[in-house]
């Protein structure tokens, strides 16, 4: 795959994610789902901007500092959100489907970025695709944690106490 095509595909993944997350956050009755998917939609918008900036800087021969969310950032977001909503809330069929779709999308994007990373020899591109992989992984973890929490907060807290305490 040519570089231009890979960047276009990356932009498409991020835009698709944004659209799904935006729609879910606006449609759901569940406040945890709404807050989580709003956060994800905003993150995808940032990724789109970063990818466009990266392409522009690359075309001009400059290096770009990639920001985005770290796994630690998403853990902090989730911990704060989980503390806001301690009781069990119901997931509608649409909420369940949205989580499943989001997990599939993040996994597909991760797999694509990994393939691109594995297929390039350029260090700057490897760094870029690795950054995208890290972003998708952090989002996958956030979606999974939110889904598990909403289904059963008590079990979630007992299983995840170490995750929240030590960040690992």
> Which tops the pLDDT comparison, 89 or 135?
135
> Which tops the pLDDT comparison, 1 or 69?
69
> Which tops the pLDDT comparison, 124 or 50?
50
Rounded Cα gap, residues 47 and 66, in angstroms: 9
Residues contacting 19, CB < 8 A, separation 6+: none
Report whether pLDDT(145) > 90: no
Structure tokens at 130: 């690795």
Report whether pLDDT(168) > 60: no
Nearest to 65 by CA among 77, 50, 85: 50
> Which tops the pLDDT comparison, 149 or 135?
135
List domains and CATH numbers for the chain: 3-166 (1.20.1260.10)
How much is the pLDDT for 55?
84
How much is the pLDDT for 22?
95
């Amino acid at each position: 795959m040519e570089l231009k095509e890979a960047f276009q595909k990356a932009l498409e993944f991020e835009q698709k994610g944004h659209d799904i997350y935006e729609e879910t956050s606006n449609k759901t009755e569940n406040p945890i789902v709404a807050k989580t998917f709003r956060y994800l939609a905003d993150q995808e918008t940032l990724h789109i901007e970063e990818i466009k900036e990266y392409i522009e800087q690359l075309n001009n021969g400059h290096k770009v500092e990639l920001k985005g969310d770290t796994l630690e950032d998403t853990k902090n977001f989730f911990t704060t959100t989980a503390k806001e909503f301690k009781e069990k809330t119901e997931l509608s069929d649409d909420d369940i489907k949205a989580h499943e779709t989001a997990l599939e999308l993040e996994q597909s994007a991760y797999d694509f970025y990994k393939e691109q990373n594995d297929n390039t020899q350029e260090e700057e591109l490897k760094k870029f695709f690795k950054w995208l992989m890290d972003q998708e992984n952090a989002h996958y973890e956030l979606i999974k944690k939110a889904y598990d929490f909403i289904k059963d907060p008590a079990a979630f807290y007992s299983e995840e106490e170490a995750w929240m305490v030590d960040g690992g």
